[in-house]
Amino acid sequence: MEIDIKKKDENFLLFTIEGVDDAFINAIRRISTVEVPTMAIETVEILKNDAKIFDEALAHRLGLVPLTTDVDSMVLASECDCEEDNCPRCSVSLLLKEKGPKTVYSGDLKSQDPEVVPYNDTIPLLKLKEGEEVELIAIAQLGLGLEHAKWEPTTACVYKYYPKITIDTETCEACGLCASECPRGVYEFDEKKNLVKVIDLENCSMCKTCVRGCTSDSITVEGQEGKYIFRIETDGSLSPEEVLKRACDILSDKSNEVIEFCK
């Protein structure tokens, strides 16, 4: 297996991967999206809400605030042996107490665990007018995207076949239509040399607009077998590398279970 990282930052990773098959890459994608646990607010006790937002709408908004996650220090509430599904092993409290006039942001949530805090401080939650108050206790728990999208660590997790473009130079009439019609700037037409070049192969989405535009049927576009371009973006709760690493561990555990079962 060969992996080549093309672009990377805190919440984004783009890489090519070669030497795997559809089943493997799709399993990693699916597990990354819905089986890698993260923290999210699950229950909210609203003590006071003078703002012009329903309690339910506020609770829903709180649930969607991405929280940084130390997965190893927490257990899923469903797997915790506490009776009320609310102990320091499975839950973290975040308190909110503010008085208007002000806009209340995610950064105003005071977490009781420094490892579990809003990833972004600037998500607006509600607006308070002069004299209005809000006071609540939010309980965050570890969960899976399988149960609710708020527990999905990824905002995008997709792959595509690595494109393979072949231009038949024998039949190409150098009309340049492939370059002018491609919506993604994959080709460049050199008018002086009367030549079409592929300048950004990895940006090709295999829409085949170029194939349809070509007047001499000289272009073929296909996916390269066993090679993919993988893109993953996270909401900040976990880094893309950590999501992928955990997805691989989960897939490995599942495979071992099957092997054990077959023995």
Applying CB under 5 A, the residues found at the interface with Zn ion are 80, 82, 87, 89-90
Residue 106 phi/psi, 5° resolution?
-55, -30
For Zn ion, the closer of residues 34 and 75 by Cβ is 75
Report how far residue 152's alpha carbon sits from residue 58's, in angstroms, rounded to the nearest whole number: 20
For Zn ion, the closer of residues 80 and 229 by Cβ is 80
CB of 59 to Zn ion, least distance (A): 21
Beta strand segments in 115-218, E:
124-128, 133-143, 154-167, 187-190, 195-198
Picking from 235, 202, 238, the residue whose alpha carbon sits closest to that of residue 6 is 202
For Zn ion, the closer of residues 93 and 218 by Cβ is 93
CB of 127 to Zn ion, least distance (A): 35
CA distances from 78 to 128, 137, 260 (A): 36, 21, 25
CA distances from 194 to 122, 165, 169, 186 (A): 53, 19, 11, 17
CB of 34 to Zn ion, least distance (A): 23
| 40: β partners | 141
For Zn ion, the closer of residues 3 and 82 by Cβ is 82
Work out the number of other CB atoms within 10 angstroms of the CB of residue 204.
Answer: 24
CB of 237 to Zn ion, least distance (A): 20
For Zn ion, the closer of residues 82 and 149 by Cβ is 82
CB of 90 to Zn ion, least distance (A): 3
